[in-house]
A and B are shown apart, each in its own frame.
Chain A
Amino acid sequence: MGELWELFLIFARMGAFTFGGGYAMLPIIQKEIVEKKKWATDEEVMDYYAIGQCTPGIIAVNVATFMGFKRKGIIGAIVATLGMVFPSLVIITTIAVFFQHFEDYVVVQRAFSGIRIVVVVLILQTIIKLWKQSIKNWVGIGLFALSFVVIAFTKLSPIYVIVLSCIIGIMVMGKKEVAQQ
């Protein structure tokens, strides 16, 4: 019971402080799950994102479900997901009841403009950290560049990028790993 409650609270904290989509959640995951709890490594978190991106559903929810399952099986998956969505339910219902045109309030716009800048800082630091761990050769740099350019400047689905890089990984890096052994 204790650990399930902990799982719920951690993901509720993420739900309450993630502004701007699934990837903005990463810095908090790194702090809470990887550094503090050591429930997963950075590599594993990246794998969950890759899978969460290619499977149906909302990425943040998919990643939460994955981690919950890894920790405590099916119950863990459900508890982590409920934790993730709980703050949204409370906050959005409150706004829907009490505020009209919430996004037009000056204080909201101001707070949000500051938060967005912090989100850029946090995402940049996450990228630097993950870069060190996952990009070890020119193939990796190429895959990073390909993925960034395709997603930032075209309307192609990220799924193609993930599938293609998986195939390249098996063809190129698989051989290398065998050769190194």
Chain B
Amino acid sequence: MIYLLLFVEFFKIGLFSIGGGLATLPFLYHLADTYGWITSEELLDMIAVAESTPGPIGINTATFVGYRTAGPLGGIIATLGTVTPSIIIIVLIAYYFMKFSEHPKVRAGFNGVRPAVVGLIAAAGYEVVKISLLNTEHFVDTLDLLNVINYKAVALFAAMMFICYRFKKHPIVYIVIGGLIGILVGPF
């Protein structure tokens, strides 16, 4: 029963991959090896698609592998398999978290955790900066310090920064604008 197998395998991925979508990759390679549902090349392709479409990367790859294996229903089943452990585990944790979140020790702990979370966000931002505002690969290849900065991208960055401060619209508005500018005068 392919659907049951898909559910179980993606349930395992949801259960054992800690720390975001890319953490699911080793498991997907394992799936490719074990069942032959997809080849490693197809998997690389899928990751590229998952990263250039909206939505969590882990969910996008689950949908993709599920679809390739067993059609549209396969995509749905693989995705549901991935999120089921999250729902069970987070509901249990949320239940206790809400009970104990006012405890002084818990509050103190989270006062320490929040600055670290801002650091994590900054690290995630830095990853995007590297690929969007800097020519890191070009620099590593040539050590060409003058062109380490992608000036065209930085210009758009500065303009968007100004517009965001000035107008405070919904983030989705800016994402759409960014996409349109990219199509019209890109690639950056």
Contacts and interface: CB of A to CB of B under 8 A. Distances in A.
Interface of A: 13, 15-24, 26-28, 31, 43, 46-47, 49-62, 65-66, 69-70, 74, 77-78, 81, 84-85, 87-89, 91-93, 95-96, 101-103, 106-127, 130-131, 134-135, 139-141, 143-148, 151-152, 157-159, 161-162, 164-170, 172-174, 177-178
Given A56-B16, A57-B86, A110-B183, A120 B50 contact: no
B4 interface: no
A112 B182 contact: yes
Contacts of B164: 121-122, 125
B56 A169 contact: no
Contacts of A51: 90, 93, 97
B72 to A, nearest CB: 5
B86 A144 contact: no
Given A92-B60, A123-B124, A58 B82 contact: yes
A57 B83 contact: yes
Contacts of A87: 54-55
Contacts of B126: 148, 152
Nearest to A36: B170
B115 A58 contact: no
Which of B115, B129, B182 has the most C-beta atoms of chain A within 10 angstroms of its own C-beta? B115
Contacts of A54: 18
B85 to A, nearest CB: 6
A123 B56 contact: no
Given A120-B125, A146-B116, A170 B56 contact: no
Interface stretch (B29-37, B105-113, B139-147): B105-113
Given A55-B93, A111-B186, A169-B108, A17 B175 contact: yes
A116 B171 CA distance: 13
B21 to A, nearest CB: 6
Given A117-B160, A124-B161, A88 B113 contact: no
Main secondary structure of the interface of A (DSSP, over half): helix
A51 B57 CA distance: 19
Given A84-B56, A170-B109, A130 B175 contact: no
A56 B177 CA distance: 34
Interface size classification for chain B: 35 or more
Contact of B91 (A52, A65, A122, A172): A65
B104 to A, nearest CB: 7
Nearest to A53: B19
Contacts of A109: 52, 186-187
A42 B38 CA distance: 41
B137 interface: no
B97 to A, nearest CB: 7
B55 A116 contact: no
A111 B179 contact: yes
Contacts of B5: none
Contacts of B165: 125
A56 B18 contact: yes
Contact of B116 (A22, A125, A127, A161): A161
Contacts of A116: 128, 131-132, 178, 188
Contacts of B116: 50, 143-144, 146-147, 161-162, 164-165
B56 A141 contact: no
A78 B84 CA distance: 9
Contacts of A50: 110, 113-114, 116-117
